[in-house]
Amino acid sequence: MKVSHFGRGAAILSVASLALVACNGEDNGNGGGDADEAAEAAGVEFEDVSGTIYSGGASSHETAMDEWIAEFEHLTDNQAQVEYAGEGSGAGRASFLDGEFQFAGSDAVMSDEEYEESLQRCGDNGAFHLPTYIAPIGLAVNLEGVDSINLDSDTLGEIFAGEITSWDDPAIAEQNEDADLPSTPITVVHRADSSGTTENFLEYLEATASNWDWEPDGEWPTDISAESAGQTSGVLDLAGSTDGAITYADLGQIGDEFALVNVEVGGEYTEPTPEAAAEAVLASERVEGQSENNMAFEITRDTEEVGAYPIVQIAYTIWCNEYESEEEADLVAAFAAYIVSEDAQELAHDQAGSAPITDDLRDEALEAISEISGG
């Protein structure tokens, strides 16, 4: 099965507009605008920067990053280059904190321990998050003749724990009375690498499934027997070639060949749509206790709001507040300003199916970027 990266991705646009406006105020139309305006707001100019930025992290960011990097290098007359390795959120954060990367892409927020470590890497104010986009995490099922499946969180917990092992199990059948469910064995496919998508999904199970006994982490629990593959493309390829498989991935990268799980919330089953994900984000608050410039959100996973889809993730880039030199600070600030600019956000939406951030959020991001210092 060939996995499409655009089957559901373009619809994510409305999630950012609806959810992030609600979290940050009304969209006022006074954002950074085009790339040059964004750079000016951040206190840098593209023609004045040079050098190479080394970065990496979430594999879900790669398509957008490829587009951003190409245009940013063009804006600097190829005096600046950016390298991004899609090795997974956890590995990216580790390499960033070790000083190998100048920024990291992550689908999960730094832990408090990681933030404390960033104080050694990034100066007295440590590191901070900038939101890149927001998207539902879809639960993709490869089951012939089935277009969608209704499941509550307890049933999902039993499936992913390996306790429910066939698709005609009574716990599944009673939630899908109109479906002709086969006796096909269930194969759970999870990420083999440290993944922000894994952490977000496990946060949902830990908060909502009464029978789920594992703490959320970027690593899948080692005592659960299941199949695994690296990165987003890996789990989708493996699930797509395995009859009866179920996996989790950024909705925008799940092809139409898969059935999707509708999750029970507030007594009704909710499809994984941008609008439904936005309803879950509306109830979320900012993460406290880290950098003053931090723009990370804590998602409310156990919402009972009918129509909300709580298996959602916000993709972040993570930056230092302070770098070793002014030249390095200007270089990374220029790229950070570019990726939150209206030009870059529209480019990523058009080419990669990611969702533009709001003008209000862009204003806040550019203010944070303008405070990046060096020396």
CA angle 267, 270, 275 (to 5 degrees): 130
Residue 79 confidence (pLDDT): 98
Residue 289 confidence (pLDDT): 86
Residue 352 confidence (pLDDT): 58
Residue 353 confidence (pLDDT): 56
Q: How far apart are CA 336 and CA 130, in angstroms?
A: 9
Give CATH 3.40.190.10 domain extents, the chain.
Answer: 27-135+314-374, 137-279
Q: How far apart are CA 345 and CA 273, in angstroms?
A: 20
| Residue 173 three-state SS | helix
DSSP notation for 48-59: G--EEEEEEE-G
Dihedral angle, C-alpha 8, 9, 11, 16, nearest 10 ° = 140
Dihedral angle, C-alpha 143, 148, 150, 151, nearest 10 ° = 50
- Residue type for 155, please? T
Write the CB contacts of 61 (distance below 8 Å, at least 6 apart in sequence): 84, 86, 105, 132, 315, 317
Domain 27-135+314-374 CATH superfamily:
Periplasmic binding protein-like II (3.40.190.10)
Residue 251 confidence (pLDDT): 86
pLDDT in tens, the chain (375 residues): 223 333 444 444 444 444 444 444 444 443 435 899 999 999 999 999 999 999 999 988 888 899 999 999 999 999 999 999 999 999 999 999 999 999 999 988 999 999 999 999 999 999 999 988 777 899 999 999 999 999 999 999 999 999 999 999 999 999 999 999 999 999 999 999 989 899 999 999 999 999 999 999 899 999 999 999 999 999 999 999 999 999 999 887 899 999 999 999 999 999 998 778 767 776 778 888 899 999 998 899 999 999 889 998 888 999 999 999 999 999 999 999 999 999 998 887 777 555 567 788 889 999 999 999 998
Count of alpha carbons within 13 Å of 240, Cβ hemisphere only? Answer: 17
Count of alpha carbons within 13 Å of 40, Cβ hemisphere only? Answer: 7
Radius of gyration of the chain (CA): 20
How would you class 174 by CB atoms within 10 Å of its CB: exposed for 0-12, middle for 13-18, buried for 19 or more? exposed
For residue 264, what are the β-bridge partners? Answer: 269
**At the top level of CATH, which class does the domain 137-279 belong to?**
alpha beta
